[in-house]
Each structure stands twice: as C-alpha cells, then as structure tokens.
C-alpha cells in the first residue's frame, strides 16, 4: 500500500497547482523508496528511464522552423488567405483536420501531423482567422478556439492510430495476450478499433459544429 | 547508418545553442538560471547515452531544481507591423517550408526502407519516423533560409523564443514517462489491480465490462499512459473475468479496452505531451485549457466504448 503514496503526491500536487515537474520528481523518489530502493537507487532508475525516454523531446526540433516562419509572417499570411475564402468556418477547418489526422494515423503516419508542426503554425491560426473574418474576437474566444484545435489533433490521433496494425498499442496488446496464452491477429485488433474511430469523428465533429453555432450566437449578441 | 543517437546529438546541439543565446542576452533577468536549465537538458541529449545512471539521475534532479527556481520569460515576438510587412513580401512561399516537414516525413515513411549503403540500411530501422522528422526539419530549415532570405541565426533565435514560451513544461513529458518506469519497478500497478478486483463484486459479465473500461480510463488518468494501464487491468479483470469466467472474446475486449484507456489520456494532466505541452505551445493562460475542452468528447466516447463492449464481447 505504501507504494501508492506517489500517486497521492501527484494528485495533491496537481490539485494544488504546484510546479508539476517538482511534484513528479518528489513522487518518483517517494514511490521508489516506498518500494524498498535506496535514494541513490531511485535516482539511478529515474536517470536511466529519463535517458531512455529522450525520444519524447525530439519533437522540439521543429521549433526553429516554426519560429522562423512566424517571424517571416506565416500567421499573418494564413489570416489574409482565410479572409478570402467565404465558405470557411472555424468548425470546417477543424473538421477537415480531424478527418485528415484520423486517416493519416490509421495509415501509420503518426508523425506526419502534430501539435508543434501543424497546429501551432497552421491549424490554430486558420481556425482563429475563420472567426476573425467577422470582426475582432475576444481573448477568451481566441483561447477556446486554440484549445479546440489542440483537442482535435489529440482526438484524431488517438482514435485513428489503433486502426493501423503495426502501431505500438496494437503490438502491445498482441504481445501481452500472447504471453497470457491467447494468440490473436493484429488485424482483428485493428478492425475492432474502427467503430470507435467512426464514433469519435461523429462525437467530436458534432461538438465542433456546436462550437460554430456558439460562435455565431456570440457574434450576434455582440452586435 | 543514421541512428537515433545522431538525432539526439542534433537535438542536444539545438538546446546548447538556446542556452548560449540566453546566456549572451545581458538584458534579461534570470539569464544564468535559464541558460543552465537548457544547457543541462542539452547535456542529457549529448552525453546521456554514455553517462552512468546516477549522473543521468542527477541531471534530471538539476532540471527539477532549476525549473522550480523560476526561469527567464521568453523574448517578445517581433512587432505585428513588421510581420505583416514580411507576410506581404513573402506571400505563399511561406507555406513551402511549413509543408516540407510532413512531405519529407511521408516520403521517408514510404521509401525509407529502400535506402541502403551497401548492404546496411541508411536509416536505423527501429527509429525511422523520428529520424525522418529530424531530416525533415533540416530540409525545411534550408528551404526556409533560402526562400525567405533569413539570417542564419534567425531560426535559433525564434526557436528559442518558442521554446522559452513552453518553458520547463518541455521536460515534463519525459519526466512523467520516467515516473511511469519507477511506478512499474515499485509494483504500483499490481497493488491498484488487487484493490479494484477486491472492491467490486463481479457477479455478472456486464459489471466486469464496466469495471474494466472505467478501470482502464481511471488508471490511465493516474499513470498518464494507457500502455501502463493495459497490462494491469487486463491481467486483473479482463482475462480472468471477462474472458475466463464469462467467456468473452479477448480481441474485442483488448481493442476496446485500450481505446477506453485513450479516453482517460484525454482527461489527465499526467499525459503532459498531449495535454499540457500544447496548452503551453498555444500560449493558453490556463494550463488545463486543452483538457477541459476534451473531457466531454472523452466521457461520451468512454460510455460508447463500454456499451459497445458490453454488447459485442460475449457474442461469438
């Protein structure tokens, strides 16, 4: 039971809005020591895992490209273009991106699109510009549109990737079931991800259309 | 062969350049603390593979302490008038480097397997996607500097601006993944699995299904990762009860169980790379802004997954 103290620290730390990095560091040390390791043992395990997980940080490599383009006016160019397209709305931008993200992930192309390389430089500015076409928008509406853009990327990725047979989660399931004595085909696992993928598109897509309607109402009220 | 190690070195050089850029900026408060933070992170990328575990652990501890002490804030973006003017003169050329990244990743995904030097693969097969991303960045940078006639230091200066806007949250996903490893080593999963199975009476198949999917989601919320939750919940509830006692189908159970875990990922700050980092990247004032938007979709999909499993898993 003592090993659960790390979970308690994480929950309390996040609830109190302490610096998450510190919370996670403390939780790790406490959990390790509760599990019977020495302090140096815990720091060693932490260090080994940290180095093994460096691949998570590789995505930051795109920031110099994005920064360069933003300095050269990418956001402003996106806004100019969107203004000329009458049929574009915030929801339509995000719906198209949701579909694209799901389909490319289902084909195993996870790294093709993403938060740093696509949402920040292109998708969020497009979604914002589609609403700004009707006049200035408040900061809170801008932030809501951005949050929806980020959420759309995540939902598209999560409920697309499992349709691909060679993705990590499908292989993990196959491997784990095999260890436990059940031989299953990755294709069958991937097929059973399709109903949820379709539902995800419908559920999140509907919420995007509702967002459009809410934006329209806010516009009418402001006038 | 181009390996993951090369990509780590490239990333390390970038962070080292950020650290130097910050240290040289005499006008900024806290410049040494920030320079030390990015420099230490750079060291982890450059030397991590060769250092002993204890040294790597000390690097992580140093990052935590530096982050807690408060880092310098990011430089301001260039004035909007300047950017508008640049946008006008650069026009649609701006999209070329931006779209280069996905195009190169796609090309490497399709043709990367076929690239060889002699009999050896050109790209380390296990990490082809990550290497593709790094190559795509290099191509996009070269194109960007040529097309936009930007000075060579501009990408580093602007990249540092964006990186410092994200701040210490940049290191959080990797730290959380490491916490997962510590949890696993200490046997947290086993204890949670036992607690859940003891607490809920499994009298029929539907109760087992609901416990399994909700357990996957909740355990993922705690661990920040459905991959950590899957073995625990499947060994604790899925296989012995849904498959073993009530005769359910292991394929349907696993596929929908994992997706239930993904619903949990959408709802937790512990999945920092999906939820906290994008909020920082998009400069949202609320760290949990992305999670708040995701929760309704996640709850609906979790309910749908549970219903789908309850309907389908026992029909063979």
pLDDT digits (tens, 9 = 90+) for B143-153: 998 888 877 88
Give the residue numbers spanning the domain of A11: 2-52
Return the half-sphere exposure (C-beta side, CA atoms, 13 A cut-off) of residue A105: 25
Q: Domain check: are A139 and A213 in the same one?
A: yes
Return the half-sphere exposure (C-beta side, CA atoms, 13 A cut-off) of residue B82: 6
Question: Into how many domains does chain A fold?
Answer: 2
Q: Domain check: are A192 and A143 in the same one?
A: yes
Strand partners, A122: none
Query: Helix (H) and strand (E) counts for chain B?
Result: 14, 2
Average pLDDT over residues B81-109: 86
Q: Domain check: are A37 and A127 in the same one?
A: no
Instruction: Tell me if B186 and A43 make a contact (CB, 8 A cut-off).
Output: no
Among B294, B304, B309, B311, the residue to mutate for chain A (most A Cβ within 10 A): B294
pLDDT at B184 over 80: no
Total count of residues recorded for chain A: 223
Average pLDDT over residues B244-267: 94
Which of A115, A23, A21 lies closest to B37, judged by CA? A21
pLDDT in tens, B23-37: 998 887 888 999 999
Strands (E), chain B: 116-117, 120-121
Residues 91-130 on B with a CB inside 8 Å of A are 91-92, 94-95, 97-98, 101-102, 105-106, 109, 127, 129-130
Instruction: Answer whether B294's CB lies under 8 Å from A153's CB.
Output: no
At A69, list the tokens. Answer: 């383009």
Instruction: Answer whether B213's CB lies under 8 Å from B257's CB.
Output: yes
Instruction: Report how far residue B260's alpha carbon sits from residue B313's, in angstroms, rounded to the nearest whole number.
Output: 14
Q: Domain check: are A143 and A212 in the same one?
A: yes
Band (pLDDT 50/70/90 cuts) for residue B316 is low
Instruction: Tell me if A173 and B258 make a contact (CB, 8 A cut-off).
Output: yes
Instruction: Tell me if B285 and A203 make a contact (CB, 8 A cut-off).
Output: no
pLDDT in the model for residue A173: 87
- Write out chain A residues lying below 8 Å of B12, CB-based: none
CA distances from A150 to A5, A156, A167, B275, B315 (A): 32, 10, 22, 8, 38
pLDDT in the model for residue B182: 82
- Write out chain B residues lying below 8 Å of A154, CB-based: 265-266, 274-275, 278, 290, 294
Instruction: Tell me if B284 and A147 make a contact (CB, 8 A cut-off).
Output: yes
Last-in-domain residue among A13, A32, A52: A52
Instruction: Tell me if A111 and B292 make a contact (CB, 8 A cut-off).
Output: no
Band (pLDDT 50/70/90 cuts) for residue B59 is very high
Place of tokens 């604790």: B236
- Write out chain A residues lying below 8 Å of B105, CB-based: 109, 111-112
Place of tokens 């900024």: B28
Last-in-domain residue among A52, A73, A92: A52
DSSP classification of residue B251: H
Instruction: Report how far residue A165's alpha carbon sits from residue A162's, in angstroms, rounded to the nearest whole number.
Output: 7
Q: Domain check: are A19 and A98 in the same one?
A: no
Instruction: Tell me if A108 and B109 make a contact (CB, 8 A cut-off).
Output: yes
Instruction: Report how far residue A182's alpha carbon sits from residue A176's, in angstroms, rounded to the nearest whole number.
Output: 9
Measured N-to-C along each axis, helices B31-47 and B53-69 cross at an angle, to the nearest 10 degrees, of 160
Q: Domain check: are A18 and A82 in the same one?
A: no
Q: Domain check: are A14 and A115 in the same one?
A: no
Among B278, B299, B307, the residue to mutate for chain A (most A Cβ within 10 A): B278
Instruction: Tell me if B281 and A158 make a contact (CB, 8 A cut-off).
Output: no
Smallest CA–CA distance from A204 into chain B, residue: B297
Q: Domain check: are A90 and A146 in the same one?
A: yes
How many other β-carbons are positioned within 10 Å of the β-carbon of residue A79?
Answer: 19
CA distances from A61 to A74, B8, B142, B187 (A): 18, 10, 14, 35
- B28 CB contacts (<8 Å, ≥6 apart)? B22, B34, B72, B75
pLDDT in the model for residue B265: 95
Q: Domain check: are A183 and A75 in the same one?
A: yes
Helix runs in chain A, H state only: 5-15, 20-34, 39-52, 63-71, 74-84, 90-106, 124-132, 139-161, 168-179, 186-191, 194-222
Q: Domain check: are A136 and A28 in the same one?
A: no
Q: Domain check: are A13 and A114 in the same one?
A: no
Q: Domain check: are A128 and A38 in the same one?
A: no
Last-in-domain residue among A34, A52, A70: A52
Tens of each residue's pLDDT in chain A, 223 residues: 777 888 888 888 888 888 888 998 999 889 888 888 888 998 998 899 899 888 888 889 999 999 999 888 888 888 888 888 888 999 999 999 999 999 989 887 877 889 988 999 999 999 999 999 888 889 999 999 999 999 999 999 999 988 887 677 888 888 888 888 888 888 888 899 999 999 999 999 999 999 999 999 988 887 7
């Amino acid at each position: 039971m003592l090993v659960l103290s790390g979970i308690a620290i994480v929950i309390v730390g996040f609830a109190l809005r302490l610096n998450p990095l510190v919370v996670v560091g403390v939780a790790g040390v406490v959990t390790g020591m509760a599990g019977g390791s020495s302090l140096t043992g815990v720091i060693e395990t932490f260090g080994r895992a940290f180095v093994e997980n460096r691949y998570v940080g590789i995505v930051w490599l795109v920031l110099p490209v994005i920064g360069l383009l933003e300095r050269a006016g990418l956001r402003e160019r996106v806004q100019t273009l969107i203004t000329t397209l009458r049929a574009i709305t915030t929801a339509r931008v995000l719906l198209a991106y949701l579909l694209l993200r799901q389909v490319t992930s289902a084909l195993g192309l996870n790294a093709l699109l993403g938060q740093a390389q696509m949402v920040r430089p292109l998708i969020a500015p497009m979604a914002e510009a589609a609403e700004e076409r009707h006049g200035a928008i408040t900061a809170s509406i801008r932030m809501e549109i951005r949050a929806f853009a980020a959420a759309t990327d995540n939902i598209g990725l999560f409920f697309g990737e499992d349709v691909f047979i060679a993705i990590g989660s499908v292989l993990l399931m196959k491997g784990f079931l095999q260890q436990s004595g059940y031989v299953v085909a990755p294709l069958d696992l991937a097929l059973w991800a399709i109903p949820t993928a379709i539902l995800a598109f419908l559920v999140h897509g509907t919420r995007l259309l509702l967002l459009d309607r809410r934006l329209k109402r806010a516009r009418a009220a402001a006038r | 062969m181009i390996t993951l190690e090369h990509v780590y070195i490239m990333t390390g050089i970038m962070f080292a350049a950020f650290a130097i850029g910050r240290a040289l900026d005499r006008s900024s408060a806290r410049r040494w603390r920030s320079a030390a933070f990015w420099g230490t992170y750079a060291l982890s990328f450059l030397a991590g593979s060769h250092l002993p575990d204890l040294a790597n652990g000390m690097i992580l501890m140093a990052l935590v302490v530096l982050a807690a002490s408060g880092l310098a804030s990011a430089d301001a973006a260039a004035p909007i008038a300047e950017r508008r003017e640049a946008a006008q003169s650069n026009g649609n050329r701006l999209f070329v480097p931006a779209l280069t990244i996905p195009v190169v990743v796609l090309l490497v995904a399709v043709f990367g397997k076929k690239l060889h030097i002699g009999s050896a693969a050109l790209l380390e097969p296990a990490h082809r996607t990550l290497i593709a991303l790094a190559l795509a960045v290099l191509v996009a940078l070269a194109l960007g500097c040529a097309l936009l006639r930007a000075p060579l230091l501009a990408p580093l200066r602007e990249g540092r601006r964006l990186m410092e806007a994200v701040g210490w949250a940049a290191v959080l996903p990797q730290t959380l993944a490491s916490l997962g490893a510590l949890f696993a080593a200490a046997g947290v999963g086993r204890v949670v699995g036992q607690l859940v199975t003891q607490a809920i009476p499994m009298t029929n198949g539907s109760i087992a299904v609901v416990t399994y999917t909700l357990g996957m989601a909740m355990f993922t919320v705690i661990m920040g990762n459905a991959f950590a939750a899957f073995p625990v919940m499947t060994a604790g509830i899925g296989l012995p009860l849904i498959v073993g006692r009530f005769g359910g189908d292991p394929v349907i159970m696993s596929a929908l169980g994992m997706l239930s875990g993904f619903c949990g990922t959408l709802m937790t700050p512990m999945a920092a790379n999906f939820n906290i980092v994008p909020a920082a990247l998009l400069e949202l004032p609320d760290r949990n802004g992305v999670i708040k938007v995701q929760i309704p979709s996640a709850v609906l999909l979790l309910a749908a997954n549970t219903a789908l499993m309850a309907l389908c898993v026992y029909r063979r």
